[in-house]
Amino acid sequence: GMEGPQVLEFIRLLPKGKEIGVIMLTAERATATFASAHELGIHAYLDKPFSPFKLTEIVGGYFDRKTSK
């Protein structure tokens, strides 16, 4: 299988892949993982365990920014 950053690389290669919002949920706390995901254009990065309220806030904020453009 692929790791999150590898999946994200694949998504970004798709014709409209740069338009897809990505929130990465991970148990990985490595700085390198965060850095590579950030370079690929993630919209948010949450470490597990995470609060469902925080996830809801991030998703809501993403859609608010998308609809205000």
Two tokens, residue 30: 């490595």
The average pLDDT across 31-54 equals 84
Q: What is the pTM of this model?
A: 0.70
Burial of 9 (0-12, 13-18, 19+ CB in 10 A): middle
> Please, which residues bridge with residue 45 across strands?
24
2-37: pLDDT as tens digits: 888 888 899 999 999 988 888 888 887 777 777 878
Q: What is the DSSP letter of 25?
A: E
Which amino acid, residue 11? I
Q: Rounded distance, CA 60 to CA 45, Å?
A: 15
Kindly indicate the confidence band of residue 69, based on its pLDDT and cuts at 50, 70 and 90.
Answer: low
